[in-house]
Structure 1
Amino acid sequence: VTPRHQSAEGKVQITDIRDTSEMIAQLQGAEAVIHTAAQVSVQKSLEDPLYDVDINVMGTVSVLKAAIAAKVKKFIFISSAAVYGNPLSTPVNELHPVNPLSVYGTSKLAAENYVRMFENTYGLQTVIIRPFNFYSPRAEVDSPYSGVISKFIDCAAHNKPIIINGDGQQTRDFLHAQDVSKMIYTALESEVSGVTFNCGSGQAVSIEDLAKKVAKLASNKIEIQHGEPRNADIRYSVADVQLARDLLDFHTSITLEEGLQELFDASNQLSAKISMSMQ
């Protein structure tokens, strides 16, 4: 939330996004909303689809309604590449048909439709951003927000085998969280409205190759093993990011190799601190 008259730096207010009245109160004086709140676990969405819909669809509608009531000017919605499902071709551009494989992807797509409707009906300026596979050194390995990179890095840092779900030939488009934030900020500051953007690097990396890159970071030899494939797992995924380049002049600033090294170093530093505290 960006206030009109004062800086929001350091101010955190915990509010249930489904509580529309409280959201209206919190959005008073805000110029823009960056809506990232969501149930993000694909597996949990399959196990409890009602909860997934409640948070991702009803929660989004609640925030949209609050934004209109508080006279917010711009609404940035963070969706997901999961809305595409298994691509018919790659790289995937924003005009590719949407056919989500999971409840999570379906709920994100439904929320997107509500975002567009609120722009068309109420005149709210909106931008939808579809991140592909982003990663961050701040991600906790056990969190549903953490993806395959965090899990692989944790294994390498602790000299444990890296477990690949399936044959490892599935591909992903990995992007550092700093670059995701960069796109969000650029979209927020731009005059662009009514546009959906892919948020990715534009580079396809197989899970097998990712595991090898991570294993090379460790001083000891890390074994790579294969487990059962995950349910509703997309086979191939890579973003076409030309639209973001054209309209937002967006370019990634952190390579995958740089990002992996950063995460590996951070994990080792954390392990060292924990070890020292236990002595």
Structure 2
Amino acid sequence: MNNINNDHILVTGSSGFIGSSIVRSLVESGRLVRPTSRRSIDKLTNEFGLPVTRFDVIKDIESKNEVFYGVKTLIHCATPNDIQSREADGGMPLAVFGTFRLIEEAIRYGIKRIIFLSTLQVYGTELTGVVNELSPINCESTYGLNHYLGEEICRLAAKLHGIDIVVLRPSNVYGVPCVSTVSRSTLVPMCFISEALNKGSLTIRSSGLQRRNFVSLYEVSQFTERILDQFPKGFNVINVVSAWHPTILDIARLVYKIWNNNKDKPIELKILSNMPNYSNEFIVSSNSFKPIFQKIKSVNHMEKVIFNLINKY
């Protein structure tokens, strides 16, 4: 393992679902981390146990250059999430202008290693067949498009400036938030747990046969650390995926089972449609890294996460 503890790792979007998990993992492994966020600075500083810098990648590029001092690696997580991508401008100023300015400024301060957090949705929303890093891009949402545009900015920067950039494309990320600033009730399985808490039932408005690949926060953080220890040269794209491809209905049934086994008041599972009437069959893989969890470990980890989320909220 390379010793990189003499140089700081700058992490944007540290209040977010993935960014906060990466910061926590890096701190626990003894690395020098400089988390930034545009909000909840005092709360995050207390919860991480280290200073968090207030930094907006659009507004503060020129006024807060000190965040770049002594930094060797930038991990850029402050990109539009699925909710922000639905807004009037689709989150595009943050995805495009923010990413471009951030990377240009980072390069100006001598940062030559960048990790950009993208999404597997650049390949499409309902995946089919075999999907790897050589698969064609097929953005079917502003969320996927935002991240792909950010990827292309990274590709151009690597070519023009001769720096090393890794784009990570995680699939459907799940886990227990590690900081209180994260509120992602739209994500599976949290959306099911939230409905169970608020309505006493669990409703799927489709057949639930849509198939997904679920990767945990732990796996995303571990993939990121592996990149830091063996940073590849040039521009690289890596899928961050698991070996598990369940349907939405499979996850709902897990929530239903774990809830009813651990709560006094049971819930019912409602399926409101028979469409789609078949599952989209696909397999995602990475040409660079094998999945950290195999299928059975992924199922067991998801069950633990669901149990912890139910008891946390």
Residue 12 to residue 38, structure 1, CA distance change in 2 (3 Å): same
2:289 alignment partner, SS class: helix
Mapped to 2, the partners of 1:142 and 1:14 lie a distance apart of 17
Residue 224 to residue 91, structure 1, CA distance change in 2 (3 Å): farther
Mapped to 2, the partners of 1:37 and 1:143 lie a distance apart of 15
CA contact (8 A) 1:137 1:262 kept: no
Give the equivalent residue in structure 2 for 1:58.
Answer: 97
Give the equivalent residue in structure 2 for 1:241.
Answer: 286
Q: TM-score, normalised by structure 1?
A: 0.81
The number of residues matched between the two structures is 260
CA contact (8 A) 2:117 2:167 kept: yes
Q: Which whole-Å deviations, capped at 9, do the CAs of 1:218-269 have from their partners, x for residues lacking one?
A: 226432224689xxxx966652134323xxxx52389333333333332344
Superposition pairs of residues 139-154 of structure 1, within 5 angstroms: 143-144=183-184, 146-154=186-194
Which runs of no fewer than 5 residues in structure 2 stay unpaired? 9-30, 34-48
**What is the percent sequence identity of the aligned residues?**
24
> 30-39 or 194-203, which moves further after superposition?
194-203
Mapped to 2, the partners of 1:87 and 1:261 lie a distance apart of 24
> 168-177 or 158-167, which moves further after superposition?
158-167
Superposition pairs of residues 193-208 of structure 1, within 5 angstroms: 193=233, 194-208=235-249
CA contact (8 A) 1:157 1:267 kept: no
1:64 alignment partner, SS class: helix
CA contact (8 A) 1:141 1:150 kept: no
CA contact (8 A) 1:77 1:129 kept: yes
Residue 142 to residue 116, structure 1, CA distance change in 2 (3 Å): closer
Mapped to 2, the partners of 1:23 and 1:117 lie a distance apart of 25
2:288 alignment partner, SS class: helix
> Where is the helix percentage greater, Structure 1 or Structure 2?
1
Give the equivalent residue in structure 1 for 2:230.
Answer: 190
Superposition pairs of residues 102-251 of structure 1, within 5 angstroms: 102-138=141-177, 143-144=183-184, 146-156=186-196, 160-193=200-233, 194-218=235-259, 219=261, 221-226=266-271, 238-245=283-290, 251=292
Mapped to 1, the partners of 2:66 and 2:91 lie a distance apart of 25
Which runs of no fewer than 5 residues in structure 1 stay unpaired? 272-279
CA offset at residue 87 of structure 1?
6.0
Q: TM-score, normalised by structure 2?
A: 0.73
